[in-house]
Structure 1
Amino acid sequence: MASPTGTSDAPFGRALTAMVTPFASDGAVDYEGAQRLAAYLVDEQRNDGLVVNGTTGESPTTSDEEKVRILRAVVEAVGDRATVVAGAGTNDTRHSVELAEAAERAGAHGLLVVTPYYNKPPQEGLLRHFTAVADATGLPVMLYDIPGRAGVPITIETLFRLAEHPRIAAVKDAKGDLFAGSQVMASTDLVFYSGDDLLNLPWLSVGAAGYVSVVGHVVGAELASMADAYRSGDVENALAVHRQLLPVVSAIMTRTQGAIMVKAALKLVGQDAGCVRPPLVDATEEQITALREDLITGGLKLVD
C-alpha cells in the first residue's frame, strides 16, 4: 500500500507521532479510541504520519493479535491521508519477520524496526536481523537506533552496509550523535528522523527529514510550525517555537516513562487515552500537578 504522504526525501512523511495505545478501564485495547486518537493527531495536530505498536504504544504488553487489530483500526481511520508505520521490531528475528508480514497484510505503509534489545548482538547480527526483516515484505523500513534501551548502537559502518538494501530507507535516531548521523546522510541515501524530542530542531539543522515525536500528541501543530519555519529559512521563528515547547518536552520526556506522561497530558487536553498496562503505572497526582503547570507554561489550553 503506497504511503499518502511519503516523498523521495521524506519516505514516511515529515511530522510523525509515535502513537499511544488507548486502553479501557479494564485494560482492554480501545480500538475505537485508537481511531479517534489517530484522527485527532492527523486532523488537528498536523501529523502526516503515525507510528503504531511502538514502545510508546506499549508494544511489549500488547499481543500480536492486538497489534494487528490496532494497525487495521488506524489504517481505516487515517490511512488515506497519513503514512501509517507499524512497529515490527523485537529481539527475536523470526518474531520480527512475522510481525512485519502481518503488518503488510494489515495495510501498513512502512515498518519501524528497533535494534534488538537486551541480548546485545554484534554488528553482524544487527546486519542480518535488519536484512531479514527488510527481505520479508515489500514495505520500506525505518531503522530505530536507540542504544540507551537496546544496549547496543548501530555503528556507522553497519548503517553504510544497511543503506545498500533497496527497502531500508530511513533511520529514527535516538542515539543523539548528530555528527555520526551527518556522516551517514552525507555518504548514503538513508533519510534521518529525530527520535528524541529534545533534539528535533538540531536534527533538522543537519539535514533530517523530520521527526518521530512523543510530545506531538499534544503539540504536534506547534512542532509542524517549527519545522515549516526552519525549512522556509525563518530560523528565528523556529527557534522561538523550540524554546516555547521546552517546558512541554521536559515535562513529558524527562520526568518518567514517556507513555505514562503523554497519556496524562492527553487527558489534560481532553483526549483521554486511558490507563497504561503493567509494568507501567499511571502518573501520580504530584506528577500530574507539575505536568499541568508545565503544559500551561508551554502555551497549551487545558480542559477543566
Structure 2
Amino acid sequence: MTAREPPFGGALTALVTPFTAGGTRIDERALGDLVAAQVAAGTEGLVVGGPTGEGPTLTEAERDRVVRIAVAAAGGRIPVIVATGANCTRTAIDRTRRAEAGGAAATLAVTPYYNRPTQEGLYRHCAAIAAACGRPLLLHADPARTGIALRPETLARLAALPGIAGLVDAAGDLASLGAVARAAGPGVPVLCGNDAAAVAHGAMGGRGCVSVIANLVPGRCAALQQAIRAGDHAGARAIQAGLAPLVAALALETDPGPVKLALARLRPGVAPDLRLPLVRPRPETEAALVAALDAFRLEEAA
C-alpha cells in the first residue's frame, strides 16, 4: 500500500461465529442473518475471525468462508475487517492476502502471542504484513491475551508506514492513552477494544469501539458512539450506565462463551455452541446473564 486510506471507526462489532449444534460446522445462514441485523441496527463496521469469532479454532478454509459470507451479507454497506493475525509472520501475511481476496475492506493484526518478540521483532512483523497488504491494516494490542505490549515508541514507528490505518487498543489502560494517541498521530485512529472503557476512551479522543456487547445490542452501541461524536458525553454515559450490568456479566468468563449464550437467548435460531478448548459458561454465569438481560429489557421497555 502506498497511501493512507480513510480511517475506520465508530461502532464496530467483534462478531461471533455461529456454529451448528456441537460446533462441528459454521452455521452459514445464522452468520448471514447476524451480519444483516448488524447493518440494519446502525453498526458501522464488523470485525470477523477474531477472538470473539473463535478465530483460533477456524480452519483456513473456514476463515475464507466466514469472510465471503460476511462480505456478501454486508453488501458494501459497512466495512468487514478480518482478523488475520498470527504469531508467525508468514502465516499472517498469507491470511491477510486471502482475506483481501475474499473482499475484506481491511485486516487486523494482533501482536504475536506465546513467542513474544522484542519490540524490534514486533515492528518488523507488523511492517512486513503492511508491506504485503493491498488494503488498510489495523493493529490490535491486547497484552492480557497475548502477553506482549505494543509500546508507544514502536507504535510511532509503525504509524509512519502508509499501510497502517488504526490501532485497536484493548489494554484498558486509560492512563497511557494520551501517550498512545500521540504516538499514533492524527492519521491513525485509536479504537477502544474494551466495552467497559468505551465512553472514557471516547472522551479522551478515541475514535470508536470494537465491541463484544454489540452482538446483543448493536443499536445501543451505535447510539453511544453517535453521542460521543456529537460531544454529548452525558448521553453517552447514560447509555453506558444502562449497559454496565450486561457488560459485567459478559466478563464473568472468557469471551465469547457468555456472549454466545446471551445471543442464543435473544435469537433462538443461533446456537450457543463453542469449540474446544472453550466450554459453555457455568450455571452461575448463565444466571447472571439472564438477570442482566432481563434488567436491560425492563429498562428498554420503561
Q: TM-score, normalised by structure 1?
A: 0.92
Give the conservation status (yes or no) of the 8 Å contact 1:244–1:299.
Answer: no
Tell me the equivalent position of 2:57.
61
Deviations 1:205-246, CA, capped at 9 Å, x for gaps: 111110000000112211221222222232222111111110
Q: CA deviation at 1:290?
A: 1.6
Whole-Å separation in 2 of the counterparts to 1:284 and 1:200: 27
Pairing 1:1-304 to 2, within 5 Å after superposition: 8=6, 11-26=7-22, 27-44=24-41, 46-187=42-183, 188=185, 189-252=187-250, 254-270=251-267, 272-274=269-271, 275-299=273-297
Q: Cα–Cα, structure 1 residues 118 and 79, in superposed 2: closer, same or farther, change >3 Å?
A: farther
Deviations 1:123-154, CA, capped at 9 Å, x for gaps: 00100110111111211111000111111100
Give the conservation status (yes or no) of the 8 Å contact 1:127–1:158.
Answer: yes
SS in 2 for 1:175: coil
SS in 1 for 2:13: strand
SS in 1 for 2:217: helix
Whole-Å separation in 1 of the counterparts to 2:156 and 2:66: 33
Whole-Å separation in 1 of the counterparts to 2:136 and 2:75: 16
Tell me the equivalent position of 1:3.
none
Give the residue type in structure 2 aligned to 1:282.
R
Give the residue type in structure 2 aligned to 1:270.
R
Q: Give percent identity, aligned residues only.
A: 38
- Which protein, 1 or 2, shows the higher relative CO under an 8 Å CA cutoff with sep ≥ 6? 2
Q: Cα–Cα, structure 1 residues 301 and 66, in superposed 2: closer, same or farther, change >3 Å?
A: farther
Q: Cα–Cα, structure 1 residues 118 and 228, in superposed 2: closer, same or farther, change >3 Å?
A: same
SS in 2 for 1:198: helix
Deviations 1:181-219, CA, capped at 9 Å, x for gaps: 322323512211000111000110111110000000112
Whole-Å separation in 2 of the counterparts to 1:231 and 1:50: 19
Structure 2: tracts of 5 or more residues without a match? none
Whole-Å separation in 1 of the counterparts to 2:230 and 2:252: 33
Q: CA deviation at 1:271?
A: 5.1
SS in 2 for 1:41: helix
Give the conservation status (yes or no) of the 8 Å contact 1:263–1:272.
Answer: no
Give the conservation status (yes or no) of the 8 Å contact 1:22–1:30.
Answer: yes
Give the conservation status (yes or no) of the 8 Å contact 1:54–1:87.
Answer: yes
SS in 2 for 1:128: helix
Q: Cα–Cα, structure 1 residues 229 and 160, in superposed 2: closer, same or farther, change >3 Å?
A: same
Q: For the aligned residues, what is the CA RMSD?
A: 1.7
Whole-Å separation in 2 of the counterparts to 1:278 and 1:301: 35
How many residue pairs align between the two structures? Answer: 292
